[in-house]
Amino acid sequence: MSDDVFIETPLGIAIISGDKEGVCRVSVGQESPDRPSKEIPSHLKEAASQLLEYFNGQRTTFDLKLNPSGTDFQKKVWKELLSIPFGKTTTYLDMAKRLGDPKCIRAAASANGKNPLWIIIPCHRVIGSDGSLTGYAGGLWRKKWLLDHENPVKQQSLF
């Protein structure tokens, strides 16, 4: 049986679910209470801490024991998502090609949409071939926020 913990993020209250086998789910905007958890189970403290560091601009990668549920193909897609560097994006077509079959683009996009580990497995870094922000379970406004957070426009100095 997994435990749930709720943390406050700039994008809403996030739920982190997991047990001693690892984090199995992180999501936002669904079935969340109005306020964060007061106590965090010991096996979820590191996940909560790392997510808060990410939102505070202090973390670009995650080092957590993960235990998502999914099909073999979904897990293959999620593993591929983990290779997209912080601040970078890829397209659904490029991802399908890296998976070995450009024709699997729809299946890869579907697996991307079923990613149970919001932010930790960075599905928000996949965009349309034309550069558009397409499909995001957490809402396109959250996808835009995450991409802007990871790649803020740098103001050049005039002097």
- Give the catalytic positions in this structure: 123
Structural contact between residues 51 and 63, judged by C-beta atoms closer than 8 angstroms: no
> What is the spatial distance between Cα 108 and Cα 134, in angstroms, rounded to a whole number?
14
Measured in whole angstroms, how far is the alpha carbon of residue 29 from the centre of its chain? Answer: 13
Please tell me the distance from the alpha carbon of residue 121 to that of residue 130, in angstroms, as a whole number. Answer: 23
Q: Which residues contact 37 (CB under 8 A, 6 or more apart)?
A: 4, 5, 6, 7
Is residue 146 classed exposed, middle or buried when 0-12, 13-18 and 19+ CB atoms within 10 A define those classes? buried
Q: Specify the DSSP element, H or E, that contains 78.
A: helix 72-81
The token pair that represents 146 in the structure block: 């995450």
* DSSP letter (8 states) at residue 116: S
